[in-house]
Structure 1
């Protein structure tokens, strides 16, 4: 267990209050909506006005930049694999939905994918590994639109529409944090929806075939599944609620123990409001989960069964490093913070 995870769990057990978010200087005033932690030193974030930021020293310094030709785009999702390699997804109708990639730390960016469907609106992407990824859009003419890559983004191929269930009238995804789609292992993928129903579509063969399940999350305009996370191929969590009511905890968390086939509301205390993103605090038992939203942060040490409010600082997205160290959250006006325990170096 990492030092930060040890301290946080001990603090929670002793009844402590106030999460140790340590603010860092992002170098940009724009709203940040996506974040991807690589390890305890390297992380990337993304946001409005074509902006990305990167740290290679644990957040002591962040370097902000703008993707050439993308100054009007809103990057809601970033997936990073190293200090050199990262993908960015821009949202918006028609050709505003794009995917870029860098292999030299952001010095140069390649436009890999431009959406050509005028009615499509891409919400998020996820990667099984550096070469294999998937991205999804809101429905087009009653059908979901997904694209996959197996060559590091050089080519993005549409998933046949007939492989997916039909969309419900008024159904769509959310691009709040770029985490409404999740993958696990080499083949599993899930993506969440909202509107008339809070559904999750899932596949165990990299999107070749799909099934669908309904979750107990909030429904209606502005409500549904905003973020998904799986810590094995069977156990996972969906968080969300209604972003129009940020302090309303109704229908904001659901758990699955069968790979997304069925979902249930946990019986313990729930997060204290609408939540736009959830991450696993790796190196801690439980699994230990952190969820964020505009009204604050909550933490669970039992895999989402019960939650404790930690802090009222608003964030849009949170990410923890797969390597077990490094966790960052991002939000309004360039806000970036990291989670640290006493005794950890800054």
Structure 2
């Protein structure tokens, strides 16, 4: 049974009196929740008995008729990372190839740039905009430089250009305008970075910010202190960088309103009971010009997660209900959020984090989960890797309750 968060204690008492809830536990958010703080009701799932049942797909993978004849199928590829751009189309990086699927992950085609097929795949930056357009940064001998590859036809052809960075976190607004946050080195809780911008699809890049010590052009509005975890831009003017610093009551979120030239730390109120927590902040994800979600990990006892929401283009952020669990997350859209540590229970929200359901899954991959994504409230994929380095790829069509093996 899935039970939702109840924000009204009187309603909680009434519901408890109306009928059985099975085996439930009550958890208050935060290490010292104040009186009147809403509870989260969590159904305690039964522990897995024996080996989890993995359902094999009943349909035989058939190459879609729309696939170009020149593409070669890679049977059971070993995937390192993936991204699905919709329910059918996606990209993946393997140890020796770049892959594309057009049937929801059943069939994978080799779309490796010809040059990389000869020199080797060592991808250190990637962005997959849609089913047709993608960028890859491949690291060369010099770790400070790389080669950027771009396709606009689903990997049939690639263009390449030398770039003055060896990889990083990429974000493209469309087929032409993009940004990359590239690391220049870390030391004792600090990290030097540079930010580059392109307006021609990646053919040329301009450095718009650096905080590298000793660089004559270095600035400090995005400080050297703190580890940076990601970058996003809403438009040509407004952008954000997330990260963390070992300091209580600090949310490491910096925003720019001038295209990345200068940055200002945004002030976010921590949830009740977590006022002294340290935080780990990823870059926000925007779904409209006004609406976005910011994931934050709360380093406290217990370790917890909270999603902040903006309705005004990132000017202000409001915390939703914190969950006393951490793990990997995915935001399929503005409403459908997922949080999972790979265990037998998957946290799901269908109202932007206001309430959460607990979905019992047919697998327990807590020790092997590498990545998961959802296209919508029902369709999702996950990647696992065991201690021997073997990867497996799964798909769900029922919101995460049942996971079928696509690549064993």
TM-score, normalised via structure 2 length: 0.59
Query: Does the 8 Å contact 1:102/1:109 carry over to 2?
Result: yes
Check 1:263–1:199 CA distance in 2 against 1; reply closer, same or farther (3 A cut): farther
Could you tell me which residue of structure 1 aligns to residue 83 of structure 2? Answer: 35
Map 1:250-261 to 2 at 5 A.
250-257=303-310, 259-261=313-315
Query: Does the 8 Å contact 1:31/1:331 carry over to 2?
Result: no
Check 1:233–1:51 CA distance in 2 against 1; reply closer, same or farther (3 A cut): same
Distance, in Å, in 2 between the alignment partners of 1:202 and 1:254 is 18
Could you tell me which residue of structure 2 aligns to residue 210 of structure 1? Answer: 263
Check 1:229–1:198 CA distance in 2 against 1; reply closer, same or farther (3 A cut): same
TM-score, normalised via structure 1 length: 0.67
Deviates more, 1:230-239 or 1:130-139: 230-239
Q: Deviations over 1:37-86 (max 9, x none)?
A: 1x332111235x3543211123331224555156352456331322x321
Distance, in Å, in 2 between the alignment partners of 1:52 and 1:167 is 35
Query: Does the 8 Å contact 1:80/1:86 carry over to 2?
Result: yes
Deviation at 1:335, TM superposition (A): 3.7
Give RMSD over aligned pairs: 4.4
Distance, in Å, in 1 between the alignment partners of 2:358 and 2:153 is 39
Distance, in Å, in 2 between the alignment partners of 1:309 and 1:113 is 47
Could you tell me which residue of structure 2 aligns to residue 167 of structure 1? Answer: 223
1:155 aligns with 2:210: no
Check 1:100–1:309 CA distance in 2 against 1; reply closer, same or farther (3 A cut): farther
- Residue in structure 1 matching 2:350, options 290, 295, 301: 301
- Residue in structure 2 matching 1:318, options 373, 380, 384: 373
- Residue in structure 2 matching 1:274, options 327, 344, 347: 327
Could you tell me which residue of structure 1 aligns to residue 284 of structure 2? Answer: 228
Query: Does the 8 Å contact 1:46/1:78 carry over to 2?
Result: no
Deviation at 1:240, TM superposition (A): 5.2
1:199 aligns with 2:252: yes
Deviation at 1:303, TM superposition (A): 1.0
- Residue in structure 1 matching 2:169, options 120, 124, 127: 124
Q: Deviations over 1:120-139 (max 9, x none)?
A: x7431111111111111235
Deviation at 1:315, TM superposition (A): 4.0
Map 1:1-346 to 2 at 5 A.
27-32=76-81, 34-37=82-85, 39-47=86-94, 49=95, 51-64=97-110, 66-67=112-113, 68=116, 71=120, 73-75=122-124, 77-82=126-131, 84-89=132-137, 94-95=143-144, 99-116=148-165, 122-138=167-183, 144-161=193-210, 165-169=221-225, 171-174=226-229, 180-184=230-234, 187-196=237-246, 198-213=251-266, 216=270, 224-226=280-282, 228-239=284-295, 241=297, 250-257=303-310, 259-261=313-315, 263=317, 265-266=319-320, 268=321, 270=323, 272-275=325-328, 277-281=329-333, 287-292=335-340, 297-310=346-359, 311=361, 312-313=364-365, 314-318=369-373, 320=375, 327-332=380-385, 333-341=390-398
Query: Does the 8 Å contact 2:128/2:135 carry over to 1?
Result: yes
Query: Does the 8 Å contact 2:88/2:105 carry over to 1?
Result: yes
Deviation at 1:96, TM superposition (A): 6.7
Q: Which runs of 5+ in 1 are unaligned?
A: 1-9, 175-179
Structure possessing the higher radius of gyration over alpha carbons:
2
SS in 2 for 1:40: coil
Query: Does the 8 Å contact 2:129/2:172 carry over to 1?
Result: no
Query: Does the 8 Å contact 1:190/1:203 carry over to 2?
Result: yes
Distance, in Å, in 1 between the alignment partners of 2:129 and 2:203 is 16
Q: Deviations over 1:145-183 (max 9, x none)?
A: 1111111111121114467614243x2223xxxxx3334
Check 1:208–1:71 CA distance in 2 against 1; reply closer, same or farther (3 A cut): same
Asked which structure has the greater RCO (Cα within 8 Å, sep 6+), the reply is 1
Deviation at 1:264, TM superposition (A): 5.3
